[in-house]
Structure 1
Amino acid sequence: MPRGYAADTVEDYLTAVPDDQRATLATVRGSLLAAIPDATEGISYQIPIFSYRGKGLLGLSAAQKHCSLHLMSPPLAKALKAEGDLSEGTLSGATLQFPNDAPLSDATVRLIVERRIAEVDAR
C-alpha cells in the first residue's frame, strides 16, 4: 500500500517524497507524460494518477523501500507476468515495484502504457 503524502498536485507529491525517490519518480513521470496521448494528471487515493480520455490509466507512488507504478488493471498485470514481458521491477498484484534509485526505462513505461490504452480503448 502506498504511503500517503499530503498533496494537491503531482508537484506537491514529488516535493513531499524523500529525496532518494524524488528523481526516480520524476523520471518515470516524464516517461508517462511522453507516452500517454493528451495525458492529464492529478492526485487520487493520495498518489499521482495519470489519465487518458478521462479514465485513470496508471498511478505512481513512493513506498518505504521502493517506488511503484500502479497498473490499475489486475488482468494486465497477470498477462504481463504470464508473458514474461517485464525485464524491470517486480509485480505485486497489479503494482510494479522498482528500486528507489532505478527508474523504469522508457521502453517498459511505453509497453505498459500501450497495453493500458488498448484496454481503455476496447471499452
Structure 2
Amino acid sequence: MNSVDDYLAAQPADVRERLAELRRRIHAAVPGAGEAIRYGMPTVTLGGSSLVHLAAWKKHIALYPVPGGDDAYERAVAPYRGAKDAAHFPHRDPLPYDVAVLIVERLAALHRQD
C-alpha cells in the first residue's frame, strides 16, 4: 500500500465506509494531523511522528496504541481494549466513534507533552 486511500480502497465496502468515517473524525479531532502508511497500516501523524495506527482485520477495526487515562476514560475504553494496548471495534457492532476520538485526543495530549 502506498497511501491511506489505497488501503481504504482495498477494503470491503462496509469496512471502507467505517474506516473513512473514523479517518474523518480523527482528523477533525486533531487539526493539523498528517497521515502515512507505517507497518502496513494507515497511521495518523502529528509533527511527523506516529500518533495512532488503524487496521482493518477480518472481525474488527483496531486502533494502536491505547494509552491509559483517568477513571472516566478507562470506563469508556475498557469494553474495547484488546491485546497489546489496542482497541478492537467489532464489525458486527456500530463503531463507537466517540470512544475512538477520545483515545486519539488522549494520544494527542500525551504527544504534545513530549
Q: Partner of 1:83 in structure 2?
A: 74
Please state how far the C-alpha of 1:48 moved relative to its aligned partner. Answer: 0.2
Distance across 1 between alignment mates of 2:21 and 2:78: 18
Distance across 1 between alignment mates of 2:105 and 2:64: 15
Please state how far the C-alpha of 1:67 moved relative to its aligned partner. Answer: 1.0
Distance across 2 between alignment mates of 1:25 and 1:38: 19
Distance across 2 between alignment mates of 1:21 and 1:34: 20
List runs of 5+ in structure 1 lacking aligned partners: 1-6
Distance across 2 between alignment mates of 1:118 and 1:24: 25
Q: Tell me if the contact between 1:27 and 1:103 (Cα under 8 Å) persists in the aligned partners.
A: no
- Report the number of matched residues: 112
Counting aligned pairs with the same residue, the percent is: 31
Distance across 2 between alignment mates of 1:79 and 1:91: 16
Q: Tell me if the contact between 1:28 and 1:104 (Cα under 8 Å) persists in the aligned partners.
A: no
TM-score, normalised to structure 2's length?
0.83
Greater shift in the superposed pair: 93-102 or 19-28: 93-102
TM-score, normalised to structure 1's length?
0.78
